[in-house]
């Protein structure tokens, strides 16, 4: 790993129609969050570059080199890609950590490990999804075909680029679509490498294209394209809204949005093991420096155990090692970029102005490294209306609020515009099920926080999004239904 982490990273190009290109040629420096130093450069793809990628994807789709390939062929290629991701897991994990700052222990599992599993899941699924014969009258035959939609545009964020990229790429490709992928400008390296591995696995040219660059230029060009049929997105609510506008102003492409969260983690006094709950809850907000869409960023604690629980959680949080994400001992890696770090600190300042108390952390650390690091931060006495209780920080900042009844816990839990994830800690089975029903969220964890696999969907309600990734439910986004109505 040490050697890999010192390896120079070659200047990156665009991957279009099975070849590396320099596009219009403008580049941007990729700064590593570990030390703020330039790691390499990526291309800022222009609108013309994006149009070329979309045209290549369309050509590949229309001539059927992948869209009409036998399911067994597609399955084999996607399994081979999963094999290659596993073979290159350490290389991909280290490259990703140098690019985005996630601690290596988490990155190995969550990035190549998870991505390989997602490609396998949809490789296995692709020949188990097929059409229907409708129950029509005797003199007609009604058939419902499932067809790939065409060209999929995928725009993804920087927190888990490979895992989230695979959540889009695997079902899109398994269904027979062509894809143009735009990674986040501060985390593109592993997804560029995936394009190369996909080609090595036998994916035909033009089926997967990767264009890097700024959201407002490269992302906008993709979202405004008249020849992209479906846009799948993970990122912030603000950009999600723009994508809906772009769709309305272009070709009404379908947009599936996975957005942010302000997820409540609710601890009742009858939790089976408060100490264990405190440890898991600390990990549930602070791993990957809080840059996790489902992070349990609001901790709601029942009055009678509030002080005891906050003390335990703060103790566990303080024991988490902030450090160089390439060290195996690190529990909390770097913040992905400097504006994000400054935003995190701004949330803390504002919370203190609004009357919250600082129980732990609150500051930037390890500044001498040149990197972007922040202590795990616990704010107590946060009121539901406070800025830090209403808005996503996407950093290592936990807002703690008390409650004294089940009804109050539900009211506070549901008092934001978000609805991505939640946690409930209780020994009372009936209370657990009632909370699962009442809390508005796409996933409710009971007596744990985080954890999932490809078999269950991830998606939000309210302003956390309008679609799901993972599971067979997510597969539907990548198919069109076509009816054949045949007179007999």
Segment lying near ligand NAD (by CB under 6 A), choices 5-13, 77-85, 110-118, 229-237: 229-237
What phi and psi values does residue 453 have, to the nearest 5 degrees?
Answer: -150, -175
What phi and psi values does residue 181 have, to the nearest 5 degrees?
Answer: -110, 135
**Total of residues contacting ligand NAD (CB under 6 A):** 30
Minimum CB–partner distance for residue 270 and ligand NAD (Å): 31
Q: What angle do CA 331, 337, 40 make, to 5 degrees?
A: 100
Which residues from 87-126 bind ligand NAD, rule CB under 6 A?
none
Minimum CB–partner distance for residue 308 and ligand NAD (Å): 31
Does residue 148 interact with ligand NAD by CB under 6 A? no
Dist CA 380 CA 412 (whole Å): 15
Dist CA 12 CA 30 (whole Å): 10
Does residue 258 interact with ligand NAD by CB under 6 A? yes
**Near ligand NAD by CB under 6 A: residue from 106, 223, 230, 424:** 223
- Of 418, 419, 385, 420, which Cα lies nearest the Cα of 399? 385
Answer yes or no: 255 catalytic. no
**Near ligand NAD by CB under 6 A: residue from 33, 165, 171, 215:** 215
Dist CA 483 CA 362 (whole Å): 58
Strand ranges inside 350-466, DSSP E: 357-360, 364-365, 373-374, 377-380, 397-403, 421-425, 443-446, 458-459
Residue closer to ligand NAD (CB basis): 219 or 384: 219
Residues forming a β-bridge with 154: 181, 232
Does residue 278 interact with ligand NAD by CB under 6 A? no
Residue closer to ligand NAD (CB basis): 236 or 415: 236
Strand ranges inside 48-158, DSSP E: 132-133, 140-148, 151-155
Segment lying near ligand NAD (by CB under 6 A), choices 34-42, 140-148, 256-264, 317-325: 256-264
Which residues from 167-206 bind ligand NAD, rule CB under 6 A?
182, 184-185
Minimum CB–partner distance for residue 225 and ligand NAD (Å): 11
Does residue 216 interact with ligand NAD by CB under 6 A? yes
Does residue 286 interact with ligand NAD by CB under 6 A? no
**Near ligand NAD by CB under 6 A: residue from 96, 261, 323, 361:** 261
Dist CA 27 CA 30 (whole Å): 9
Say how far residue 94 (Cα) sits from the centre of its chain.
19
Answer yes or no: 293 catalytic. yes
Residue closer to ligand NAD (CB basis): 259 or 359: 259
Does residue 236 interact with ligand NAD by CB under 6 A? yes
**Near ligand NAD by CB under 6 A: residue from 155, 289, 335, 359:** 155
Residue of 21, 258, 302, 375 marked active site: 258
Residue 143, number of CB atoms within 10 A of its CB = 14
Does residue 418 interact with ligand NAD by CB under 6 A? no
Q: Are strands 254-258 and 230-234 parallel, antiparallel or unpaired?
A: parallel
Helix (H, G, I), strand (E, B) or coil at 143: strand
255-279 core/surface letters (b: 16 or more CB in 10 A; e: else): bbbbbbbbbbbbbbbebeebeebbb
Minimum CB–partner distance for residue 212 and ligand NAD (Å): 9
Residue of 293, 302, 375, 392 marked active site: 293
Residue closer to ligand NAD (CB basis): 223 or 230: 223
Dist CA 158 CA 172 (whole Å): 20
| Interacting residues toward ligand NAD by CB under 6 A | 155-159, 164, 182, 184-185, 215-216, 219-220, 223, 234-236, 239, 242, 258-261, 293, 392, 394, 420, 458, 460, 465
Active centre residues (catalytic)? 258, 293
């Amino acid at each position: 790993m040490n050697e890999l982490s010192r390896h120079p990273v070659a200047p990156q190009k665009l991957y279009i129609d099975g070849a590396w290109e320099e596009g219009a040629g403008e580049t941007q420096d990729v700064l590593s969050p570990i030390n703020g130093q330039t790691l390499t450069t990526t291309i800022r793809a222009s609108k013309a570059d994006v149009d070329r990628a979309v045209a290549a994807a369309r050509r590949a789709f229309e001539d059927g080199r992948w869209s009409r390939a036998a399911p067994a062929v597609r399955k084999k290629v996607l399994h081979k890609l999963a094999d290659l991701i596993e073979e290159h897991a350490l290389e991909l994990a280290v490259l990703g950590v140098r690019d985005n700052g996630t601690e290596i222990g988490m990155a190995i599992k969550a990035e190549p490990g998870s991505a390989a599993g997602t490609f396998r899941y949809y490789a296995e699924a692709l020949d188990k999804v097929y059409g229907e014969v409708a129950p029509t009258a005797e003199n007609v035959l009604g058939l419902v075909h499932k067809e790939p939609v065409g060209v999929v545009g995928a725009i993804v964020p920087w927190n888990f680029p490979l895992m989230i990229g695979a959540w889009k790429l695997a079902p899109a490709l398994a269904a027979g679509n062509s894809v143009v992928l735009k990674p986040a400008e501060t985390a593109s390296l592993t997804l560029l490498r995936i394009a190369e591995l996909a080609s090595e696995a036998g994916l035909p040219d033009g089926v997967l294209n990767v264009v890097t660059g700024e959201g407002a230029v490269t992302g906008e060009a993709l979202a405004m394209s008249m020849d992209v049929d479906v846009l799948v997105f993970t990122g912030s609510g603000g950009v999600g809204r723009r994508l809906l506008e772009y769709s309305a102003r272009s070709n009404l492409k379908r947009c599936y949005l996975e957005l942010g969260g302000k997820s409540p983690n609710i601890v009742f006094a009858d939790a089976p093991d408060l100490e264990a709950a405190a440890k898991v809850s600390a990990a549930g907000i602070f791993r990957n420096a809080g840059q996790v869409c489902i992070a349990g960023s609001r901790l709601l604690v029942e009055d009678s155990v509030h002080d005891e629980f906050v003390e335990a959680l703060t103790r566990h949080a303080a024991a988490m090692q902030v450090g160089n994400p390439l060290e195996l001992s690190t529990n909390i890696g770097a913040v992905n970029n400097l504006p994000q770090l400054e935003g995190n600190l701004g949330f803390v300042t504002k919370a203190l102005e609004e009357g919250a108390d600082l129980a732990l952390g609150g500051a930037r650390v390890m500044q001498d490294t040149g990197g972007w690091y922040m202590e795990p931060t616990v704010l107590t006495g946060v009121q539901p209306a406070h800025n830090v209780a209403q808005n996503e920080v996407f950093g290592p900042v936990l807002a703690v609020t008390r409650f004294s009844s089940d009804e109050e816990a539900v009211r506070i839990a549901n008092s934001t515009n978000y609805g991505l994830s939640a946690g409930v800690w209780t020994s009372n089975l009936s209370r657990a099920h009632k909370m699962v029903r009442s809390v508005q969220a796409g996933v409710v964890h009971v007596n744990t926080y985080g954890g999932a696999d490809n078999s269950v969907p991830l998606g939000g309600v309210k302003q956390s999004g309008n679609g799901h990734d993972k599971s067979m439910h997510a597969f539907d986004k990548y198919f069109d239904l076509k009816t054949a109505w045949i007179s007999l």
